[in-house]
Amino acid sequence: MIICRCEEVSYKELENTAARYKCSARELKLRTRAGMGYCGGRSCRNIVDQIAAAANEPNPTCVSLKYQPPIRPVSFKNLGGEDQ
């Protein structure tokens, strides 16, 4: 099952990487590129956090993944292609 659609990272790949390296969510993101696509982690961030937390002991110093806003906002008028 694909978790990160932007980078095509599967659930199995995330689980295997988290178990092998005992990594935090941030390190899991860097190792697999999950959450680094066009959406900036909006669709997969929570699952990546959960997989990393399940593979490791709780660590209060770990920083969770952040949302990455688009480079510049796009209006619905521009997406629709209609000139007004």
Please give the pLDDT value at position 39: 83
> What pLDDT band is residue 77 in, cutting at 50, 70 and 90?
confident
Please give the pLDDT value at position 5: 92
Render pLDDT for 19-66 as a digit per residue (tens, 0 to 9). Answer: 999 888 889 999 999 988 888 888 888 999 899 889 877 666 666 666
- DSSP bridge pairs for 12: none
Q: What are phi and psi of 2, to 5 degrees?
A: -80, 125
Please give the pLDDT value at position 78: 75
